[in-house]
Amino acid sequence: MIGTQSIGWAEVLPSHIPGVQVLDRLLAKGWPGPSPAGFFPMSDAGLMAEAALFLPHLMGGDAGAVAGRAFLTTEMAEDGDGLTARLAFLRSAIRDVALHGDLILSDPEAFMDRAETFTLFDYSQARDTSAAALAATKPWVDYVSTLTRAEAAALVPLIDIPAGALVLEPGGNSGAFARALIPVIRPARHVVFDLPAVCALGKARGDAPGLSFAPGDMRRDDWRGVAGGAPDVVLFKSVLHDWPLEDAADLLARARAALAPTGRIIIAERARFMGMTSGTAMDYANLVFAPFYRDPQTYIDMFAGMGLSITVAETRIDCGWFVLTARAA
């Protein structure tokens, strides 16, 4: 803490391209080292000079710099692969915005065709658990997982799940959100339903009480069969924006058909893009996905006629977020 301000990504990530590049290079060399109070001396004088120029908020001896380095030290110890994936993704996003940013909103399909960003998320390579599939899938699983770890603190208090519930989480990735939820919600079981390589990588991260992984295809498989019964909760965390409107509506219809009679569907998503508002490089990561973020009303309209009572809670992390809860009567 600095006074009453907690240190996190908003205080650590720079807002400009050279800062992201220099931070990526520093972390790759083992900086800031094992001591949160300081950082080990680097033999690369040129890199340290760049860091002093482009990352002054992390390089000094003031409380903010010390706290920022301590945050990075902890993150590297807990989730080094995720931190590496985050910086690599930011570098790709920044490059794509610089080269093709004028197409993001005017012609999203052309932007996707030209941008490097979207080559990371090749779901077709996650359909088995071969060594090649795991290697191709791991970078984006690490990236999504490290984002989820940072987002969970703001989102978990808005997730209303009764104790002892059977939770099905389609697109639950490595189980990072499930691991944050389980100690708070204490469900009977939390089933992460995702592609085979994703589930294998999630299992490799270790056990959690009640957590299980169900490899499959959410567009085709029987959701009650996957969950082992009618789920009390179907949870979509940062999933539906990946799908065109028609497919997202189909996934919600599948969730409604699988749901227990008094169950609920919960959607946690970034809200519609409202500009470069975070003041950090995360704005670039959000900008490349800007055409796909939707407001809650889009999903409310999809629930029409399903007999659900809907509430929406809003929060702010790197941008605006919402948690929509649709309860069966």
Which residues have CB under 8 Å from 280's CB, separation 6+?
Answer: 9, 10, 13, 14, 15, 318
Cα–Cα distance for residue pair 98/92, rounded to 1 Å:
10
pLDDT tens-digit map of 111-141: 999 999 999 999 999 999 999 999 999 999 9
Q: Per residue of the chain (329 residues), give pLDDT as tens.
A: 333 347 889 899 998 889 999 999 999 988 998 765 556 666 788 999 999 999 999 998 899 999 999 999 999 999 999 999 999 999 999 999 999 999 999 999 999 999 999 999 999 999 999 999 999 999 999 999 999 999 999 999 999 999 999 999 999 999 999 999 999 999 999 999 999 999 999 999 999 999 999 999 999 999 999 999 999 999 999 999 999 999 999 999 999 999 999 999 999 999 999 999 888 999 999 999 999 999 999 999 999 999 999 999 999 999 999 999 999 97
Question: Domain locations in the chain?
Answer: 9-99, 140-328
Q: The CATH number of 140-328 is which of 1.10.1200.10, 3.40.50.150, 3.90.400.10, 3.30.160.20?
A: 3.40.50.150
In sign, the C-alpha dihedral spanning 169, 172, 175, 179 is negative
